[in-house]
A and B are shown apart, each in its own frame.
Chain A
């Protein structure tokens, strides 16, 4: 049986952003996709939620000071070139 890492206490909530939400996100911060922090497609969580190269993942964390904090990651392929 495989362990579902998404249920682990130390793994925050991840979800793939829809095309509409991506537009909205990039508009609110006035940024390009490349300006976002990145995560690898090979990341265990990315694999678990089925994120593909170019997707944007929304991460919702519990924060001791802010309650919940939201951040975003751009999924990228690992390439040296």
Chain B
């Protein structure tokens, strides 16, 4: 149960601990570097002193008398033999030293200027502007002063030798001298310290030089006992041991009157240890290492970065009621559903409050226990894992005690019921780059061990099934469930705010299937039509003979009117009408055109978009569910296969391709000859070499296109690979022409391949050869196979692509992080303006036009053409 805090935080103030404060809050002074004695008991006044708190269960704290979880731990302290600089404040100390006089500690500015600055400071505070920026200006002003206006002492330049050494006029200052100086500043400046952005109420400059070091409680640095019984100490403890050891030696040497040199060496060593204790990644000094060579994780490392306290434990939290497993496809469930393995459903629970109205029902539920026997003909029955009684006690329900717990169930208890069909859950795939990466689904408990999801929701999650894993969260409150259902359900995210079009839609085989069904005027028998339509749950009449278009029309809403170019279309409207590439839907009947990616595909699907806008999310969801099933039924019935022989082209075509390539190579030779003889005409703004390269790239590009064109002339819509490419299901015509025709020019950094040996790319070529083959032109096709040199060049180009993606993802990830951190407190207000949390206006009218991109039509507020058509048709 959550225990309520007795104290309420009103405000937090940041300041420095004074040496007195450190001593006062200390439970004990630490003098020995040893932790435990031979018997395994902590040594008094050692780093594991029992007064610093308890870490062993059963024991009581010697300071506060509380038990393990109650005692927060207590600080100790180390008296440093000599003062040392605190690295975290090295810069601040430097600024104070620069701005003040060493002789009298006063600010290096004349009286009247200081009076003015005091007034200015008040203004800055009143305006809420940055006092840090103000202090910077003050320090800048003092840098021009060469003589102290008060005591007349000459101002020597102060330098900071990073990380912690200060010099005045070239002479090294010891931390003790620095501290002395800062003490003077503290006394002389008083309230004027505010001008240097230091609040004298909570921080004195001399406290930035440590004389006493606080020792954090043992609870902050617990030691672990290994299986062998050996104790392993925390990194912080190790560091503190180092500090105490050196501190002791320093003290002994100093007291014994050792030579100045030795004392100074030890002093510097102490400075090193204290510095690394705070931050083990301070630039300019080697990080302190463990015996194994691993760098120690000290205070700054605990907080900093992705794995640090802030990003990993405060901004991010681990949660209960969640699950993660591999995903796999299930075309039979709705896009709104997610298949959950029985094993996971038995672990995840939903809390239900027991009321006078449901108590009998709940008793029955509890009686089932945690492992109920499924009913006849079902595979799963939810049980109950826990009962939380009104007093907050949590009782684990077992098969043994289920009966008694059920009988004793009272109103006000909460039972934790196992997941059941229809429960609302959140489903998520990382990286969560947009809001569709986390959507609400309805649970459907299924056998086996993977999460099942409908293929149409792969695009928003960017998921595939090559081993992807996804996370699932069970909502624990009624409000959360209601909110998720209204705002986060999959069907509410069919349209993407990214481009105002459908992001959920048919993919791959769905598109091929619908295309095969609707292209041309295929006629299906009654049995065939029945097979296809029954998959969609159609219950209406079926004619003796049906065309594919008629079958498809059965899943369209009856009042649908649309006209657009299909994906298949690659020319004018008139041309496309002839080729069945112009879609006409009238009153829910598909009259003309084949259904392909442009109609139902994710990212492009016009019909989905239109239904979503017109009839809402429920209708759109139903349509997607039906169209995917229709597509699969069609492709199953018609049959579909592809293989490398899809790229077989007749011999004459191969000869033609060969001719084109020969021709291109000859053209390149001609260009090179022209270049050598100085006849090449230079393109303005380019050197002669660049001109040649550009011309050659143009020729090679053209050659590849031509080969592709020849190949595609012999590959028609009776070819499976072409069907996939033209309907937008998978692959492109470019992919096909690379398989059948020629792969084409390989490029690195947008240029022909030119790196490698002196004057040539590979030892296979002559030096200075500028020809096609020597510079990475692949005239073979993937099908015929590449020559060794071609293969090498192809690998070069391929590698560049891989490197690019790797670099791009990490860079864009970092950019997104910064963007989100910057934009997290900007929001849209009810009046349509965009504001910061402070109330400052960012935009007066969201995006100038106030349009929600999700509800826009591909970014536009209205589609005038569509309206025109709707009006004139009717």
Contacts of A9 in B (CB 8 A): none
Q: Check if A81 sits within 8 Å of B129, measured CB to CB.
A: yes
Contacts of A34 in B (CB 8 A): 840
Contacts of B841 in A (CB 8 A): 29, 31, 35-37
Specify the chain A residue showing the minimal Cβ separation from B856.
Answer: A65
Task: Indicate if A48 sits at the interface (CB-CB under 8 A).
Answer: no
Give A42 Cβ to nearest chain B Cβ, in Å: 18
Q: Check if A81 sits within 8 Å of B137, measured CB to CB.
A: yes
Q: In the complex, which range does the number of interface residues on chain A fall in?
A: 10 to 19
Which of B288-296, B508-516, B842-850 makes up part of the contact surface? B842-850
Contacts of B379 in A (CB 8 A): none
Question: In the complex where A81-B120, A81-B123, A81-B129 touch, is A65 in contact with B851 (Cβ < 8 A)?
Answer: yes
How many B residues have CB within 8 A of the partner chain? 26
A1-41 residues at the B interface, CB under 8 angstroms? 28-32, 34-37
Of B129, B842, B849, which one neighbours A69 at CB under 8 angstroms? B849
Task: Indicate if B765 sits at the interface (CB-CB under 8 A).
Answer: no
Give A26 Cβ to nearest chain B Cβ, in Å: 11
Specify the chain A residue showing the minimal Cβ separation from B131.
Answer: A81
Task: Indicate if B831 sits at the interface (CB-CB under 8 A).
Answer: yes
Among A37, A65, A71: residue with most chain B CB under 10 A: A65
B804-832 residues at the A interface, CB under 8 angstroms? 831
Of B134, B831, B847, B848, which one neighbours A80 at CB under 8 angstroms? B134
Q: Check if B833 sits within 8 Å of A69, measured CB to CB.
A: no
Task: Indicate if B861 sits at the interface (CB-CB under 8 A).
Answer: yes
Of B129, B839, B845, B850, which one neighbours A35 at CB under 8 angstroms? B839
Contacts of B674 in A (CB 8 A): none
A15–B212 CA distance with the chains assembled, in angstroms: 63
Specify the chain A residue showing the minimal Cβ separation from B835.
Answer: A35
Contacts of B124 in A (CB 8 A): 81
Q: Check if A66 sits within 8 Å of B850, measured CB to CB.
A: yes
Contacts of B838 in A (CB 8 A): 35
- Interface mask (B836-874 → A, CB under 8 Å = 1, otherwise 0): 001111111101111100000000110000000000000
Give B483 Cβ to nearest chain A Cβ, in Å: 27
Q: Check if A66 sits within 8 Å of B845, measured CB to CB.
A: yes
Contacts of B151 in A (CB 8 A): none
A56–B868 CA distance with the chains assembled, in angstroms: 43
A66–B120 CA distance with the chains assembled, in angstroms: 44
Q: Check if A35 sits within 8 Å of B840, measured CB to CB.
A: yes
Among A63, A72, A81: residue with most chain B CB under 10 A: A81
Contacts of B844 in A (CB 8 A): 29, 69-72
A66–B851 CA distance with the chains assembled, in angstroms: 9
Question: In the complex where A81-B124, A81-B129, A81-B137 touch, is A69 in contact with B845 (Cβ < 8 A)?
Answer: yes
A70–B844 CA distance with the chains assembled, in angstroms: 8
A33-81 residues at the B interface, CB under 8 angstroms? 34-37, 61, 63, 65-66, 69-72, 80-81
Contacts of B860 in A (CB 8 A): 65
Specify the chain B residue showing the minimal Cβ separation from A36.
Answer: B841
Q: Check if A66 sits within 8 Å of B849, measured CB to CB.
A: yes
B81-139 residues at the A interface, CB under 8 angstroms? 120-121, 123-124, 129, 133-134, 137
Q: Check if A31 sits within 8 Å of B123, measured CB to CB.
A: no
A30–B850 CA distance with the chains assembled, in angstroms: 19
Q: Check if B831 sits within 8 Å of A69, measured CB to CB.
A: no
Question: In the complex where A29-B833, A69-B848, A69-B849 touch, is A80 in contact with B861 (Cβ < 8 A)?
Answer: no
Specify the chain A residue showing the minimal Cβ separation from B850.
Answer: A66
Of A29, A63, A71, A72, which one neighbours B849 at CB under 8 angstroms? A63
Contacts of B129 in A (CB 8 A): 80-81
Contacts of A71 in B (CB 8 A): 843-844
A69–B832 CA distance with the chains assembled, in angstroms: 13
Give B567 Cβ to nearest chain A Cβ, in Å: 28
Contacts of A70 in B (CB 8 A): 844-845
Contacts of B831 in A (CB 8 A): 28-30
Give A80 Cβ to nearest chain B Cβ, in Å: 6
* Residue positions of B touching A, CB distance < 8 A: 120-121, 123-124, 129, 133-134, 137, 831, 833, 835, 838-845, 847-851, 860-861
Interchain residue pairs A-B with the least CB separation, the first 3: A66-B849, A69-B848, A65-B849
Knowing that A63-B849, A69-B845 touch, tell me 11 more A-B residue pairs with CB under 8 angstroms.
A29-B831, A29-B841, A30-B831, A35-B835, A65-B848, A65-B849, A65-B861, A66-B845, A80-B134, A81-B124, A81-B137
Q: List 30 A-B contacts (CB under 8 A).
A: A29-B831, A29-B833, A29-B844, A30-B831, A31-B841, A32-B839, A35-B838, A35-B839, A35-B840, A37-B841, A37-B842, A61-B848, A63-B848, A63-B849, A65-B847, A65-B848, A65-B851, A65-B860, A66-B845, A66-B849, A69-B845, A70-B844, A70-B845, A80-B129, A80-B133, A81-B120, A81-B124, A81-B129, A81-B134, A81-B137
